Structure 1
Amino acid sequence: MRRPIIVALDVENKAKASMLLEQLGGDVYVKIGMELFYKEGLSFVESVKQRGHGVFLDVKMHDIPETVKRAMTIVAASGIDLVNVHALGGRRMMEAAREGIEIGSGSPGRPALIAVTQLTSTSDAQVVAEQGVTSGLAHSVEQLALLTKQSGLDGVVCSVHETKQIKHVCGSDFLCVTPGIRSAQTAEHDQVRTATPADAAAAGADAIVCGRQITRSSNPYKAYQAIQKEWLSNEPV
């Protein structure tokens, strides 16, 4: 997987998404999340691929293994580049997801499959109080990342703040895709574990996901270029 900026197309419909794609240009890697996917369906995903974009289908599958396997078989056939599940679904579910991807892609060049550990909107206090994980957020993320690797997946979605530790325990080739990326002066909105592109690069992230700072800008491509400059000018340590 190349080291891209993934632009989150977190808009309501394909008309708004198409407008953004026109402004961003054909070589930009994009994330299609649940809102847009549920509204426009797999045909829209296929149309974005046909326009030359890399696509991260961010649907966070979490269901019984057979259902996830069948769903992955369907989405893999669309030509997506990256897709995810929830690690909390467990080993068998994640193994089933990989089986489905291999069936659906029909070639060695299957989409990369990663798992969400803990959402970037989740705090340490929530993990302890609501999930009953008394060891805390960092330990939960590490354990879920290890389970993901043991299940044969390619990596995880994680916060920049957990990237170095995940790389340490899972290996440098284990993908870390980091959302919640924005410049220091930008508001955090509903995410609590955010970081800058420079932070992500220094932590060794393989890809970053940026949304509002680009998509809500009066000049999305200019905003994209500014983030790209900061991201690519900083090397992992």
Structure 2
Amino acid sequence: MALSGTLDLPEHNGQTALHIAAATDQPLVVCDLLEYGAHVHRRDTWGRTPLHVCVEKGHVLCLQRMLQTLKATGTDFDVDMVNYDGLTSLHVAVLAHNATLREAGRLKSCSGGERESLLKKAQASLECVKALLQMSASCGAMDQKSGRTGLHMAAEEANTQLLSLLLNQPGSLAVVNLRTFSGNTALHIVCAHQSCRSQLEAVHMLLRRGADPGARNYENELPYHLLPERGSTEKIRQVLRGKSLHM
């Protein structure tokens, strides 16, 4: 098939054999296909590359083997390629981790087996983010619909695990105050979160890495203006107002 040029022949959803191997978590098959010349940039009906499929499913071993094989074979590839929703693989991995946290929050009284399953799922998504960052996925890449970076997306859930990981990347100082298409920074987005236990910690993390509490969005709002009226947000309000006054 490699010799005849049919290795990337798509099925009815536009998926190649490489897509399907990634979706079904077959790391050895993924390696074989790549070594024989399968294209990692082919998109399916939804615009997903095999990288998108891996992180969407949380198949971290498959993703790691794919990235290792691409590097070993000297294949040029775009780790920041977007799907038809304008999302890079890093965006997809961050959103998958957020979704698992939301699910865990809704199922606080879940059984031991359900909780263990959710923890494994969350860890897999986190490892996918780490693998992509190791391959120089851009923390500053914006999704093409709203202008959110991975940092903005992590901020939407006050996801301290991901915020810590992203803020410790070498280029984080250049990313921390980037704005979405509506002018919101990650600090604006964390502040707008409703009654989140990790909100104060997330705010402190962003401020320590250079987030600007005096930044205004396109509605002329400072981050503390977006804090909910109810709930235990007064301490956050004082921290932000104090910081902005001393800047």
Q: Which has the higher strand share?
A: 1
The higher radius of gyration belongs to 2
TM-score for the superposition, normalised by structure 2: 0.32
